[in-house]
Structure 1
Amino acid sequence: MRILVTGGAGYVGSFVVRRLLTEGHEVTVVDSLVNSLRPTAPDIRFHHVDVRDRTTLCDVITASRPEAVVHCAGLKSVGQSVELPWLYYDVNVAGTLNVLAAARAAETEHFVFSSSCSVYGSPQISPVGEDAPTLPQSPYASTKLAAEHAIEACAAAQDMTAVHLRYFNAAGASADGSHGELVTRYNTQILPLACMAALGAGPPLRVFGKDYPTRDGTAVRDYVHVEDLARAHVAALGAGGRRPTGTFNLGRGEGTSIGELLAALEHIAGQKIPVVEAPRRKGDPVQTWADTFAAEEGLKWTAQLDLADIVQSAWRWHSSPNGRLTAVG
């Protein structure tokens, strides 16, 4: 299948591209390289394009005529979105509209969107199903939900099928330690920051709140391996003429507290992680994890890698020169 991946040089997008190439698909990547590095795989058709550049984007997509688009491009820092909401709406919403316009011109048949569990805000009940109220509590989350709405409307108008993948906390790296998440100045993901703190390559880790009504007082999240997320994107493309549609939550379907995550990392690293306790952040949910029934039924997908796989692969990556020295953005 001819597939175009926006943001295909980014964290999740690059793993999606690797998986697609492994399965024999013809892959074109567009990426602005704002917070990523240029892909080097010889089988990738790469175009250095910002999704806000509608004219160039349309030229690239119509020339490649993809049967499907996997839209991973976007900014993802909650904190930065509060500081620069106009930038987030420009990239994540206007950029998505540009991708949709180009897909229409190219007569693309299927659209897969990398969305986020942040659209649920602070859910009162876990596990969180796809029918839970959407109450975004940051500009970032609002842009993800707005993009979903735009995709739904445009897909219906142009006879294109669409899938929204709302993933929970993406984490981990390749098993061989050769590929993982870059640490940028806007990175707020706890596992990369914890690894850098343990390595002495970053400041002590700030843990926001140790007084939650949870088993150890720290917030509970659903960490899902990026390799599993890549498999889900491929599953969302369909096979044998069957194309899934709709919205799917992606997670391991179980909660892990911040304390448990750090304990697992300390066990693997063989050392204590320097931690600084900080007050709770406004809008942070107490605990949240995914109800994965819809993904199991509609995508025939379940997460295969566990917390130990996630933590061990992240530690191996960040302990390598590439994982420590490729800070960009």
Structure 2
Amino acid sequence: MAAHGVKTLIYSSTCATYGEPEKMPITEATPQVPINPYGKAKKMAEDIILDFSKNSDMAVMILRYFNVIGSDPEGRLGEAPRPELREHGRISGACFDAALGVIPGLKVKGTDYKTPDGTCIRDYIDVTDLVDAHVKALGKATPGKVGIYNVGTGKGRSVKEFVDACKKSTGVDIKVEFLSRRPGDYAEVYSDPSKINQELNWTAQYTDLQESLQVAWRWQQKHRNGYGTPLAMDS
């Protein structure tokens, strides 16, 4: 990028670089001890960027996303993973696939975590807020400096809460199968977004879980084949 004159880098990182911290909420100073390959790979990329930036005037912003959900409210963009990746996608995609009948039901892995209802707790950030965070980061990027920010709502919701919200947003009584834990998952992760609030003037606006899922569900219903020809829908 430097060789081709790129002056600004906004890097998509992840809360998975923190692993399973001892204290919540997670701040940017929380030690990064990833426990799965995804988190390790993202941390390695962060380390490379930080090493490079010591002798560069490139403006760098590292955004550590929490769990992204939702779709564009105007219906232009939605979540459409390649077929071979659907099974490994986000929980929202699995919920919608179950609601659409693409898969027979939803498999929830892990019900014995030390959380109020036994399922994992995550910080779900709407993709529209995430886009806004990128715009704010781009506007504040400074040559020769690195900014590191958590991008989340600051509120944790359990997988069971998420599934209940998905059932309500789709109107479908999704069949749920509870299974044993998946290796590499952590019990509870949610952000402290104070730094990005103060330094970039960014705050999550789309924080109603059910509303975010309803917006995404409308897109899924119109685009059952991903970005193929949209289906006509009654208003």
**TM-score, normalized by the shorter chain, greater than 0.5:** yes
| Alpha-carbon RMSD | 2.0
Matched, 1:131 2:29: yes
CA distance in 1 between counterparts of 2:171 and 2:63 reads 35
Say whether the 8 Å CA contact 1:224–1:310 is kept in structure 2. Answer: no
Equivalent of 1:234 in 122, 131, 135: 135
Q: Which residue of 1 aligns with 2:68?
A: 170
Aligned amino acid, residue 302 of structure 1: T
Distance 2:72 2:122 in 1: 21
Separation in structure 1 between the aligned mates of residue 142 and residue 35 of structure 2, nearest angstrom: 35
Residues 134-174 of structure 1 deviation map (CA, whole Å, 9 limit, x = unaligned): 11122221111111111112222122121100000011001
Verify: 1:223 aligned to 2:124, yes or no: yes
State the TM-score, normalizing by the size of structure 2. Answer: 0.88
Alignment of structure 1 residues 44-193 onto 2, 5 Å:
103-184=1-82, 185-186=84-85, 187-193=88-94
| 1:209-247 Cα shifts (integer Å, max 9, x gaps) | 1222222221110000011111111111125x8677321
Q: Deviations over 1:160-196 (max 9, x none)?
A: 1211000000110011333111133323310111111
Distance 2:167 2:48 in 1: 43
The one of the two structures with greater contact order (alpha-carbon pairs below 8 A, sep at least 6) is 2
SS at match of 1:163: strand
SS in 2 for 1:229: helix
Partner SS, residue 54 of structure 2? helix
Match 2:162 to one of 261, 269, 284:
261
Unaligned runs of 5+ in 2: 228-235
Could you tell me how far apart the structure 2 residues matched to 1:319 and 1:125 are? 40
Q: Deviations over 1:53-92 (max 9, x none)?
A: xxxxxxxxxxxxxxxxxxxxxxxxxxxxxxxxxxxxxxxx
* Distance in structure 1 (CA, Å) of the matches to 2:203 and 2:61: 17
> Aligned ranges for residues 241-280 of structure 1 at < 5 Å?
245-280=146-181
- State the identity %: 37
Stretches of structure 1 that go unaligned for 5 or more consecutive residues are 1-102
Which one of the candidate residues 173, 183, 190 is aligned to 1:289?
190
CA displacement, residues 279-309 of structure 1 (integer Å, 9 cap, x when unaligned): 0112311111011011111211111101133
TM-score, normalised to structure 1, is: 0.64
Q: Number of residues paired by the alignment?
A: 223
Aligned partner letter, 1:233: H
State the Cα deviation string for residues 9-50 of structure 1 (Å, max 9, x = none).
xxxxxxxxxxxxxxxxxxxxxxxxxxxxxxxxxxxxxxxxxx
Contact 1:192–1:318 (Cα < 8 Å) also in 2:
no
8 Å contact 1:264–1:311 — kept in the other structure? Answer: yes
- 1:12-27 aligned within 5 A: none
Q: Secondary structure at the match of 1:263?
A: helix
Runs of 4+ in 1 over 4 A off after TM superposition: 241-244
Contact residue 122 and residue 159 of structure 2 kept, 8 A:
yes
Name the CA distance, whole Å, in 2 between partners of 1:303 and 1:290: 12
- What is the CA-CA distance between 1:265 and the residue it aligns to? 1.4
Assess, with a 3 A threshold, how the Cα gap between structure 1 residues 242 and 145 changes in structure 2: closer, same or farther. closer
Distance, in Å, in 2 between the alignment partners of 1:269 and 1:289 is 25
